[in-house]
A and B are shown apart, each in its own frame.
Chain A
Amino acid sequence: MNKLFTISLLLFFIFSLPSCKEKKEDFDRKPLLENIGNNVIIPSYKSAHEKALALKVAIADFNNWPEPQKLPALRATFKEAYLAWQAVETYEFGKGIAQAASLNSFPTDSAKIRNNALKGNYNLQAATNLSAKGFPALDFILFSMSDNDLINLIIDFPTAKQYLQDIADDISANITATYDNWNTSHINTFISATGLDIGGSIGILCNSWAQMTERSRRERVGNSLGYVGLISTGTINSKLLEGFYANQSKELVIANLQAGKNLFTGGEGVGFDDYPQVKEATFQGVPLNVEISNQYDKCIAAANAVSTDFKTALLNDKPKMETLFLELKKLTVLIKVDMASAIGVTINYTDNDGD
């Protein structure tokens, strides 16, 4: 009896000790990166690329023959492209560095847009024009005027017609270049950099992800509610909303969050919710993978709970907007702090040399 016990105890130790250790250290990150790269990121870019191309074509068509009956379809094409963009904005690395600033700086600068449209002579790639290009500039041009005013602008001002086309071309060229780069080479770079050290794909992705989640909290909701960081000033300003002129703010943030959840779960394949350390870690007693997934759902539900568009809600239903802000705040902490530390990557996107 004693012998048997000793032997079984010994066997238990022999088998259990190494396997315990292996479980934690030997998670193969390659399948995760393969799935995220091939089945989440590239399809998102593909869609964004196709929709941006359709937008570019629709604008060329409208510019050639500016007719009022074309406007509803053109505006719908714009909205679709903007929604598709939400699924790629998170990937601010490789060729995508600063793509959010390049294509989605809001609020847009309407005075600068007017100036560029009427005078021409602009360089859309110059930093100074970030606030007069991309989706927000098209949002302003396509949705801030009556049909007649827009058509007259295009007919009367060749510079405005050119500017409208240049903005659409720039959006399309930018997204296509990044999409092509992913397809041709970056996917391999992404999959092969499996390390957690500096230069590893997981660390780069998590930094970008955390930064863009924080952006949603701050710029998609917080700024219009009057938040400076996490401090409320109480001064609402709906003009700071994304998609202000088309009144698309709610749909855009929901699309963004759905894409974020898809990144977390990896769609049908291996996702961050399968990452052993994310499953083992807990947030107030709940496994972290469950908590993060739930928090995405709570954010989407909070956005859906705003019964009107955000512009109206800021005036009439502010508490619902505040709730959305709080849920996004929780989500940001979960991604930026809890998930990053569970995986063991350093979040350093705010770092600088300190001078």
Chain B
Amino acid sequence: MKNYILPIALFATITIGLNSCKKDDDTKKTYDVPTTYNFDSVDYSGQTARLDMLGELTTEMKKGNIKGTSVSAQKQKDMYANENSPFANATLNTTGKRLKDKTFLSEQTVLEGYMDALAAASQSAVDGANGSAGVVGTYLCDANGIEHIQWIEKGIFGSVFFYQIAEVYLGDSKIGASVVKKDRQHHWDEAFGYYGVPKDFPTNKTGIRYIGKYGNDRDVLLGINSTIMNAYLKGRAAINNDDNAEVTKQAAIIKETIEKVLAATAIKYLNDANKGFGNDATRNHTVSEAVAFIRALKYNPSKKISDTELTTLLSTIGSNNWNITQQNITDARNSLSTIYGLDAVKNQL
């Protein structure tokens, strides 16, 4: 007995050892990864245009934060679909790019519904209160204290920007090994375009927005900036050098880290809601933000949170920011931090 085991064990060790050696040789291709996103033929002007469009749409919606200023539902929808030359920046009108057709399909009518609700609330002649739409402090809310501006802006953030990165452009059909190299590169660049940072980020933080901005806000505690940026750089370099395993690996890092930004930002807003619980404007605003960020989590096809957890979380928060309790807010915060392994920083976020 004894005599057999030793040689087998020895053989197994050698085989595993050899295999792992071989694997290393296969994956460790040597090529340079640049420190900025300056590769050949990079173009993500379509993504930049959509970020600009959301900027203008948000400015338009925020007019409703002043009591007595009504916001047109049609104007919002025109901006969303880029119809009837809605943008002040005229070049956007002729780009042929739209936020709407890049939105996760079932979310399109939902967002347009929020635009109707926002327009209706902006007609209110009274201050917002439990049961009455109107401006609360500096935020336009519906009768349940929901700030639709956040649900629309952060809704597009999730159902366009994050969805396009996580599900569309960094999916196998766009960057998989079977895709033509030129297309793979372009798709990767488009995913980078939705990140909302300059090519030499994080050294340069000028004009960062959306995912880039919120990632940067969480950077001190979670070290987000270099993780995401390095993954974009390594993945693009890997495509250039046909390093397929590395492309997949970096795509996964990007999705996972952006999802973490969303979760951490939701925790941050729930903390703000708890601290500012007694301030109706702060509470309504921050809870609305938190809900929008939580909803955005679902656009990662390999998301960490389960559908059941997501549903439970949203029902814990409920649908009325006047009736919400501190316990609801704390429970939601704690379950989110546990799911995302952020318990150690949940009080600091």
Q: Which A residues contact B (CB, under 8 angstroms)?
A: 92, 97-98, 100-102, 105, 123, 125-128, 130, 198-199, 349, 352-353
Measured between C-beta atoms, what is the minimum distance from A323 to chain B in Å? Answer: 29
* CB-contact partner of A126 in B221, B274, B323, under 8 A: B323
Collect the chain A residues with CB atoms within 8 Å of residue B275's CB: 92, 97-98, 349
- B272/A352 in contact, CB under 8 A: yes
Asked if B280 CB lies within 8 Å of chain A CBs, one says yes
Measured between C-beta atoms, what is the minimum distance from B118 to chain A in Å? Answer: 16
Cα distance, A130 to B277, chains bound together (Å): 9
- B276/A127 in contact, CB under 8 A: no
Measured between C-beta atoms, what is the minimum distance from B130 to chain A in Å? Answer: 5
Cα distance, A123 to B221, chains bound together (Å): 36
A123 touching B274 in the complex, CB below 8 Å, given contacts A198-B220, A198-B348: no
- B348/A127 in contact, CB under 8 A: no
* CB-contact partner of B278 in A102, A198, A349, A353, under 8 A: A102
- A199/B278 in contact, CB under 8 A: no
A125 touching B348 in the complex, CB below 8 Å, given contacts A97-B275, A130-B278: no
Measured between C-beta atoms, what is the minimum distance from A193 to chain B in Å? Answer: 10
5 residue pairs bridging A and B, Cβ less than 8 Å apart: A92-B275, A101-B277, A101-B279, A125-B326, A353-B268
Cα distance, A199 to B345, chains bound together (Å): 9
Measured between C-beta atoms, what is the minimum distance from A302 to chain B in Å? Answer: 27
Cα distance, A198 to B289, chains bound together (Å): 23
- A101/B272 in contact, CB under 8 A: no
Measured between C-beta atoms, what is the minimum distance from B207 to chain A in Å? Answer: 15
Asked if B325 CB lies within 8 Å of chain A CBs, one says yes
- B325/A123 in contact, CB under 8 A: yes
- A127/B323 in contact, CB under 8 A: yes
Collect the chain B residues with CB atoms within 8 Å of residue A101's CB: 277-279
- B277/A102 in contact, CB under 8 A: yes
- A126/B324 in contact, CB under 8 A: yes
Cα distance, A102 to B275, chains bound together (Å): 11
Q: What is the chain B residue whose CB lies nearest that of A101?
A: B278
Cα distance, A105 to B277, chains bound together (Å): 11
Q: What is the chain A residue whose CB lies nearest that of B280?
A: A127
- B322/A126 in contact, CB under 8 A: yes
Collect the chain B residues with CB atoms within 8 Å of residue A126's CB: 322-325
Collect the chain A residues with CB atoms within 8 Å of residue B324's CB: 126-127
- A128/B274 in contact, CB under 8 A: no
Asked if B327 CB lies within 8 Å of chain A CBs, one says yes
Collect the chain A residues with CB atoms within 8 Å of residue B226's CB: none
Cα distance, A353 to B324, chains bound together (Å): 22
Cα distance, A353 to B283, chains bound together (Å): 14
Asked if B300 CB lies within 8 Å of chain A CBs, one says no
* CB-contact partner of A127 in B214, B221, B289, B325, under 8 A: B325
- B277/A98 in contact, CB under 8 A: yes
Residue among A127, A130, A198, A199 facing the most chain B CB atoms (10 A cut-off)? A127
Collect the chain A residues with CB atoms within 8 Å of residue B274's CB: 97-98
Collect the chain A residues with CB atoms within 8 Å of residue B348's CB: 198-199
- Interface hits, B259-298 → A, CB 8 Å: 268, 272, 274-280, 283, 286, 289
Q: What is the chain A residue whose CB lies nearest that of B274?
A: A97
Cα distance, A101 to B276, chains bound together (Å): 8
- A98/B326 in contact, CB under 8 A: yes
